Structure 1
């Protein structure tokens, strides 16, 4: 069987009732119903996710994002982003080239990385939808507070990982789901555009399935490194 056939078949698996939209495993189970929303959990990668039929419309998503107040010059927001920026910068070569994927209307993280001497490109399906930045590869790709919004996370991670050059880094920041007993009242779940929730083990599983190295330097941050051409890591 060719690689192309495998990819097509794995994508078809997402359409199967109960299939995990994160790792494409068929092994998911009903998890919780709350506030009129129904969630499942994956027995393979441990993700929790909203039933596909209940995903918000694109218009509803966009209207909600317009109320976000993540200003690039806000010192508090910048401090929040250092959680990812500091460990990532420690792993990058000088003058690396990166992509801020899901940058939103005010790409604060990209501004911070530029100040550190790195070249940045931007992509956001709502605020910077030009697909040209997705046609090349990068030394690193950042995805902060974005993965929880993915309606097709398996396909998004395929795209993100394809954007990283051999030896490069994919940096993910999302609030890890850790306690099922608190899921119902968790503030992160109550955002109507948050539809998929990852555990540390979820992201480690996604990396391992592709032969990538995964580090979790702090809670809510995963740094995945693509193997270099000669099979090792940087």
Structure 2
């Protein structure tokens, strides 16, 4: 395990309670990350994601996205010419919902829609829902997304926030073996300060809306 945080470079502290796999906490940006030696391999990841019932035929899943759109207020954005749903999963439900709002939406997923033509474009809106917790190198990915945003563009993300390192051990969310990186409100403030972004909104639970500087 790297002794330094993969987000901010701070020195990591191992969570004191013995659990498997091992987790490490960064006191600087509040990121919690898993021991890299216990990552699933790519085929194991694919097998897990393939079991997800993330389709338009799943009303609960569709409702979650509709709630995300309303709470994050991305349905009220002006002048969105092009959007990207980054990490859309096997069923690009959010693409359908965004296009109903009139947003021409591209999709990308490293397992299900791996074409990388999106890297040559720029976007007024990027959504990244239930993706950050799966990232092996979150800073590199978020830097790419920041570059892909037009000036004044919006990055809207979801991932459940951890409340403290002390409560983390008993948290159900960590028990999914594809969840390897965990964030908090403090982490999102760090991201906004160190990328060309401002934290425009957070519901304090799972949603963060960041905006790229217009200058």
TM-score by length of 2: 0.92
* Stretch deviating more after TM superposition (153-162 or 70-79): 70-79
Q: Which residue number in structure 2 is paired with residue 128 of structure 1?
A: 113
Contact 1:32 1:39 in 2 (8 A): no
Contact 1:32 1:40 in 2 (8 A): no
Q: Which residue number in structure 1 is paired with residue 210 of structure 2?
A: 224
- Post-superposition offset of 1:59: 1.0
Distance in 2 (alpha carbons) for counterparts of 1:216 and 1:89: 11
* Stretch deviating more after TM superposition (158-167 or 31-40): 31-40
Contact 1:101 1:142 in 2 (8 A): yes
* Stretch deviating more after TM superposition (144-153 or 27-36): 27-36
Distance in 2 (alpha carbons) for counterparts of 1:67 and 1:34: 30
- Post-superposition offset of 1:95: 4.6
CA RMSD of aligned residues (A): 1.8
Are positions 1:146 and 2:131 aligned together? yes
Distance in 1 (alpha carbons) for counterparts of 2:80 and 2:167: 42
Match runs of 1:103-182 below 5 Å: 103-182=88-167
Are positions 1:79 and 2:39 aligned together? no
> What SS does the corresponding residue of 1:216 show, helix, strand or coil?
strand
- Bigger RCO (CA 8 Å, 6+ sep): 2
- Post-superposition offset of 1:101: 0.3
Distance in 2 (alpha carbons) for counterparts of 1:216 and 1:28: 28
Once the two structures are superposed, residues 77-127 of structure 1 have per-residue CA deviations (whole angstroms, 9 ceiling, x without a partner) of 122123421224245214531000000110111111111111100100000
> What SS does the corresponding residue of 2:162 show, helix, strand or coil?
coil
- Post-superposition offset of 1:185: 2.6
How many residues get paired?
Answer: 213
Match runs of 1:50-61 below 5 Å: 50-61=34-45
- Post-superposition offset of 1:135: 1.8
- Post-superposition offset of 1:35: 4.8
Check 1:46–1:133 CA distance in 2 against 1; reply closer, same or farther (3 A cut).
same
Are positions 1:69 and 2:59 aligned together? no
Are positions 1:201 and 2:180 aligned together? no
Are positions 1:42 and 2:42 aligned together? no
Give 5+ residue unaligned stretches, structure 2: none
> What SS does the corresponding residue of 2:15 show, helix, strand or coil?
strand
Contact 2:80 2:103 in 1 (8 A): yes
